[in-house]
Amino acid sequence: MERTLSIIKPDAVERNFVGQIISRFEAQGLRPVAMRMMHLSQKEAEGFYAVHSERPFFKDLVSFMTRSPVVVMVLEGEGAVARNREIMGATNPENAAEGTIRKDFAKNIEENSVHGSDSPENAAIEIAYFFRSTEIC
Ligand code: RTP
Ligand code: MG
């Protein structure tokens, strides 16, 4: 069993898609084992996306991620990191496959509804960023 960090981003929470998005994970073999709704501070968002701090979209990304609440979750399942990325679809919804979350819910390349860890190593770092081990069931 593997674990990954998932975030339902502000654009999806604002449009009331939390339940539909979690259902997609459940239906496709991933189980939430930790979950919290929170409104990220600027510091929290900057720290989470620190790897992108030199990218031209960083400031916009932090502003987007802090504008309203998100849902942070740990998802567990076989090959959870890769499985989650498949269920999410490509970063840009224009390139996302049919039936993926981003194809069906994302507004554009930035407001793309979900985050998912991109490797098991980063998943461990990102899970620890939001959850104590005692909060993971
Ligand atoms: P994520 O980290 O959120 O799961 O998304 P990702 O791996 O598919 O994409 P990544 O390259 O890591 O980018 C992180 C997030 O930054 C925003 N972004 N905006 N305006 C732009 O050109 C642009 N490019 C990326 C998106 O919210 C993307 O998910
Ligand atoms: Mg990424």
pLDDT digits (tens, 9 = 90+) for 80-119: 999 999 999 999 999 999 999 999 999 999 999 999 999 9
Q: Is 96 in the pocket of ligand 1 (CB under 6 A)?
A: no
Residue 91 CB partners (closer than 8 Å, separation 6+):
102, 109, 112
The response to whether 85 counts as a known ligand-binding position is: yes
Q: Do 33 and 137 contact (CB within 8 A), yes or no? A: yes
Q: Which of 104, 102, 103, 126 is nearest to 113 (CA)?
A: 102
Q: How far apart are CA 120 and CA 101, in angstroms?
A: 21
Q: Which ranges of the chain would DSSP assign to H, the alpha helix?
A: 10-14, 18-27, 42-48, 58-65, 80-88, 101-105, 120-130
Q: How far apart are CA 27 and CA 106, in angstroms?
A: 19
Q: How far apart are CA 87 and CA 117, in angstroms?
A: 12
CA of 109 to the centre of ligand 1 (A): 7
pLDDT digits (tens, 9 = 90+) for 10-43: 999 999 999 999 999 999 999 999 999 999 999 9
Residue 45 CB partners (closer than 8 Å, separation 6+):
61, 62, 65, 66
Q: What atom in ligand 1 is closest to the CA of residue 118?
A: 7
Q: Is 110 in the pocket of ligand 1 (CB under 6 A)?
A: yes
CA of 16 to the centre of ligand 2 (A): 23
Report the complex ipTM: 0.94
Q: Where are the domains of the chain?
A: 2-135
Q: Per the confidence metrics, is the pTM higher than 0.90?
A: yes
User: Would you identify the CATH topology of the domain 2-135?
Assistant: Alpha-Beta Plaits (3.30.70)
Q: What is the CA radius of gyration of the chain?
A: 14
